[in-house]
Amino acid sequence: MLAKPLLEDILLAGLSTGGDFAEVFVEDRFSTILSMIGGKVDSGVSGRDYGIGVRILKGTNYVYAYTNDYSRDNLIKVAKEAAAAISPETISRNITLSFMKDEPLHINPIRIYPHEIVKQDKVSLMARAYHAAKEYDPVISQVMVRYFDEDQKVQIANSLGLYVEDERVRTRTAITAIASKGPEKQSGTYAPGAHMGFEFYDNIKIEDYAQEAARIASTMIHAPYAPSGRIPVIIDNEFGGVIFHEACGHSLEATSVAKKTSVFADKLGEKIASSVVSAVDDGTIPNAWGSLNVDDEGHVSQRNLLIEAGVLKGYMVDLYNGRRMNVPATGNSRRQSYKFAPTSRMTNTFILPGSHTREEIIASTEYGLFARYMGGGSVNPATGEFNFAVNEGYMVRNGKLAEPVRGATLIGQGSDVLLKIDMVADNLACGQGMCGSISGSLPADVGQPTIRVSEMIVGGRKGDK
């Protein structure tokens, strides 16, 4: 971490050509990744990322510079180079900075820091997961377990006098089981994680997740291909929320709203979803995977209402895009590391519970697809077109779950699918994902109760409809 007088000098150098805002972001991150395949640890890497990012704004002009040469001379030089890019002329100004240290609320208490646990204990955890998955069913031919933890310390100071230090500790274990039958292979994955120390693994039973990954793979290896066509789709709770994340969440980020490249730009107060849909982005859930004490601009995290009864209520906004939109930041400014300038991103984003039950939704569907587990997906924010993969699917016939089906992809247009959600259940749950966008790859929770979309395009391989 840098001393305050140095931070001050960097900010002043950054403002030396007429910039109206300067910010320093210092990151010192320790991380460990262990990977196990076939029950054997085949790689273990740990280390330290360290670097400094300097950001300067002048109106809507924007310069970002980063370095990991932390010598005073270099940091001042980097700030001056960045300032020169804002404007070639040095302006003599009399600026005094007085940092007000913010003591952010520690909404994500950490009990056991990753460095307090010996590697062998992490390996034992992985071995438990491996055995639970491998021994679930003879068709499971291979199991991969990947353990990850990080301890990221950040220091953020800006020319408005903000000064914050924060520490983010996260851990996650991903289990992938592969089922084989002749030349065919199918996989199932489950990857629980939290903004928490190693105590996370006292709160969950890793075997349950490993068996679930194996169950998905062994179910799918026996499943025929999904049919194709436009049919009702029931998307189960938890990671099913990736539909909202992709179909709507990205288009509510100021990154695309400010430039009006989002389909939801200028739509505040308008009905953009069916009236059974309400949704939030909430970075304040204690110890949730996407939670933050403060965001990467030093802004305290918030719970932001996005949609209420189908009406658009708010966007996710960072400081810079807030300038274009003329609205305050919402605690959503995030970056993967000092190598990225921060921008508006999701934290934990989910659809709020409704009044039905999962059973009612299935019972009232004559024919359709039940997507029990979703894979990842992506969206084009300009057109709102999204796609995502169904990792475990079932046909629904006459109000009952029928045979499992593999290989289905759901596609559609965000604005359209939101209006077609006609039932929302009461079983809200969240799942963990890594969300990729312009400021890098970030931990984010997606979530929802079980929902039904009256009609979606299911892309399968069976030619029939």
Partner 1 sequence: MEVKVFAEKLFAAGREVGFDAMEAYVASRNLFRVGVFKSEIDSYTLAQSRGLSFRGLINGRMGYSFTENLSEDSVALLVDDARANAAVIDSEDPEEIFGGSPEATYADVCSFSPALEQVLAAEKIAWVKEVEQQAYGLDVRVSTVQVSLGNSSGETMLMNTKGLNLAHQGNFADGYVAAVVKEGEDTKSAYAFFSSRDFSRFDPVTLSKEAVDEAISLLGAESIESGQYPVLLRHDVAGEFLATFASSFSAEAVQKGLSLLKDKQGEQIMSSNVTIIDDPHLPERPNSAPFDAEGVATASKEVVAAGRLMTLLHNLKTAKKDGVNSTGNAYKMAFNAPVTVAPTNLYIQPGKRDYADLVAHIEHGLIIIAVQGTHSGANPVSGDFSLSAYGYLVQGGQVVRPVNQVTIAGNFFKMLSDVQEVGNDLHFKMGSIAAPSLLIGSLAVSGK
Among 1, 38, 95, 101, binds partner 1 (CB under 8 A): 38
Binding flag, residue 230, partner 1 (CB under 8 A): yes
Among 128, 131, 222, 259, binds partner 1 (CB under 8 A): 259
- Of 335 and 358, the one with the shorter C-beta distance to partner 1 is 335
Q: How far is the CB of 386 from partner 1 (least distance, A)?
A: 8
Among 20, 199, 207, 385, binds partner 1 (CB under 8 A): 385
Site stretch for partner 1 (CB under 8 A), options 150-158, 190-198, 258-266, 326-334: 258-266
- Of 82 and 194, the one with the shorter C-beta distance to partner 1 is 82
Among 142, 152, 357, 427, binds partner 1 (CB under 8 A): 142
Q: How far is the CB of 358 from partner 1 (least distance, A)?
A: 24
Site stretch for partner 1 (CB under 8 A), options 28-36, 101-109, 148-156, 442-450: 28-36
- Of 104 and 407, the one with the shorter C-beta distance to partner 1 is 407
Binding flag, residue 382, partner 1 (CB under 8 A): yes
Reduce the DSSP state of residue 465 to 3 states and report it. coil
Site stretch for partner 1 (CB under 8 A), options 27-35, 106-114, 276-284, 326-334: 27-35
Q: Which two tokens stand for residue 345?
A: 């991103």
Among 24, 26, 82, 234, binds partner 1 (CB under 8 A): 82
CA–CA separation, 319 and 327 (whole Å): 9
The answer to whether the beta carbons of residues 348 and 283 sit under 8 Å apart is yes
- CA nearest 287: which of 377, 369, 414, 196? 196
Site stretch for partner 1 (CB under 8 A), options 91-99, 299-307, 400-408, 447-455: 400-408
Among 10, 75, 78, 428, binds partner 1 (CB under 8 A): 78
- Of 171 and 287, the one with the shorter C-beta distance to partner 1 is 171
- Of 261 and 427, the one with the shorter C-beta distance to partner 1 is 261
CA–CA separation, 455 and 180 (whole Å): 33
Tokens 């309400």 locate to 278
Tokens 């010192």 locate to 28
Residues 102-121 that bind partner 1 (CB under 8 A): 118-120
Would you list the DSSP string of 224-292?
Answer: PBPB-EEEEEEE-SGGGGHHHIIIIIGGGBHHHHTTT-STTTT-TTSB-S-TT--EEEETTSTT-TT--
- What HEC string does 371-396 produce? EEEEEEEEEECCCCEEEEEEEEEEEE
CA–CA separation, 216 and 234 (whole Å): 18
Residues 268-297 that bind partner 1 (CB under 8 A): none
CA–CA separation, 435 and 412 (whole Å): 20
Binding flag, residue 386, partner 1 (CB under 8 A): yes
Binding flag, residue 388, partner 1 (CB under 8 A): yes
Give Cα 194 distance to the centre of its chain.
12
Residues 40-69 that bind partner 1 (CB under 8 A): 40-51, 60-69
Binding flag, residue 181, partner 1 (CB under 8 A): no
Tokens 């979803």 locate to 273
Site stretch for partner 1 (CB under 8 A), options 5-13, 96-104, 351-359, 403-411: 403-411
Ramachandran area for residue 39 (φ above 0: left; ψ -120 to 50: alpha; else beta): left
Among 263, 352, 424, 451, binds partner 1 (CB under 8 A): 263
CA–CA separation, 50 and 57 (whole Å): 24
Q: Which two tokens stand for residue 48?
A: 């330290």
Site stretch for partner 1 (CB under 8 A), options 17-25, 356-364, 401-409, 440-448: 401-409
Among 26, 154, 174, 178, binds partner 1 (CB under 8 A): 178
Reduce the DSSP state of residue 203 to 3 states and report it. helix
CA–CA separation, 207 and 237 (whole Å): 21
Measured on CA atoms in the order 441, 443, 448, 450, is the torsion positive or negative?
Answer: positive
| Pattern 441-460, partner 1, x by CB under 8 A | ----------------xxxx
Q: How far is the CB of 396 from partner 1 (least distance, A)?
A: 18
CA–CA separation, 192 and 162 (whole Å): 34
What does the longest C-alpha to C-alpha distance in the chain come to? 77
Q: How far is the CB of 339 from partner 1 (least distance, A)?
A: 7
